[in-house]
């Protein structure tokens, strides 16, 4: 679980950095919020969770670990693609972003429970 999350995180890192380069080169900062969340909810958060699950395999293999994995990894692409479309002017997509954000939030709550119950000395 940990290693899978680290690999997924690196993909978000590449997408986030490419978007940052695009904004810098084009001097168009419309996608800054997509860039920020791809980097922070994608790269940083998933890599950190991956490292935690690798150090504490009981947390990585638990039911709540799997629930966290799937909610975060289904919700985040929905939220990021939705936010990208919104920033491109597709306004009706807003509820889709909300669905993605709620899935990620539920995933993070599962992560909280998982860390508090499974991460031990
Ligand atoms: C080659 C790498 C990167 C480039 C070229 C880049 C470029 C940019 C640019 C052009 C902006 C918009 C600034 C503005 O709106 O005034 C931005 C915002 C931002 N970047 Fe990056 N970035 C890079 C990597 C990263 C990484 C690795 C992270 C986080 C782990 C990150 C986090 C952020 C955040 C949080 C913002 C929003 C800041 C705000 O709204 O005030 N960036 N970046
Ligand atoms: C489901 C989770 C999250 C939701 C729904 C969310 C939502 C938002 C919203 C609505 C904004 C204001 C955007 C704007 O008007 O520019 C924002 C900004 C920001 N958020 Fe989040 N956020 C989430 C998670 C996070 C996390 C986990 C981090 C950091 C680890 C983070 C870092 C930031 C930063 C740095 C900004 C300001 C940069 C920018 O968007 O220009 N967010 N977030």
Q: Which long-range contacts (CB under 8 A, 24 or more apart) does 33-39 make?
A: 33/83, 33/87, 34/80, 34/83, 34/84, 34/87, 37/79, 37/80, 37/83, 38/12, 38/80, 39/12, 39/13
Distance 32 CA to ligand 1 centre (A): 7
Distance 120 CA to ligand 2 centre (A): 30
Task: Please report which ligand is nearest the Cα atom of 35.
Answer: 1
Q: Give the pLDDT band of residue 114 (cuts 50, 70, 90).
A: very high
Return the pLDDT at 2: 96
Identify whether the C-beta of residue 107 lies closer than 8 Å to the C-beta of residue 72: yes
Return the pLDDT at 77: 98
Nearest to 50 by CA among 42, 37, 81, 19: 42
Query: What total of structural domains would you count in the chain?
Result: 1
Return the pLDDT at 71: 98
Q: Which residues line ligand 2 (CB under 6 A)?
A: 32-33, 36-37, 40-41, 44-45, 101, 104-105
The SS3 call for residue 27 is coil
d(CA 73, CA 85): 19
**For the whole prediction, is pTM greater than 0.85?**
yes
Instruction: Give the pLDDT confidence of 62-104 residue by residue, as tens digits.
Output: 999 999 999 999 999 999 999 999 999 999 999 999 999 999 9
Q: What is the mean pLDDT of residues 99-110?
A: 98
Domain extent, residue 60, equals 2-118
Instruction: Count CB-CB contacts under 10 A for residue 40.
Output: 12
> Cβ neighbours of residue 27 under 8 Å, at least 6 residues apart?
none
Is the Cα dihedral 15, 16, 22, 28 positive or negative?
A: positive
Instruction: Give the pLDDT confidence of 38-64 residue by residue, as tens digits.
Output: 999 999 999 999 999 999 999 999 999
């Amino acid at each position: 679980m940990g290693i899978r999350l680290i690999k997924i995180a690196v993909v978000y890192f590449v997408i986030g950095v490419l978007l940052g380069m695009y904004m810098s080169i084009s001097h168009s900062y419309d996608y800054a919020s997509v860039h920020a969340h791809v980097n922070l909810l994608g790269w940083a958060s998933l890599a950190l969770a991956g490292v935690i699950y690798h150090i504490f395999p009981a947390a990585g293999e638990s039911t709540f670990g799997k629930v966290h994995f799937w909610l975060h990894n289904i919700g985040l692409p929905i939220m990021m693609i939705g936010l990208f479309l919104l920033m491109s002017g597709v306004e009706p997509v807003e509820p889709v972003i909300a669905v993605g954000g709620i899935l990620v939030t539920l995933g993070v709550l599962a992560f909280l429970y998982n860390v508090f119950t499974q991460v031990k000395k």
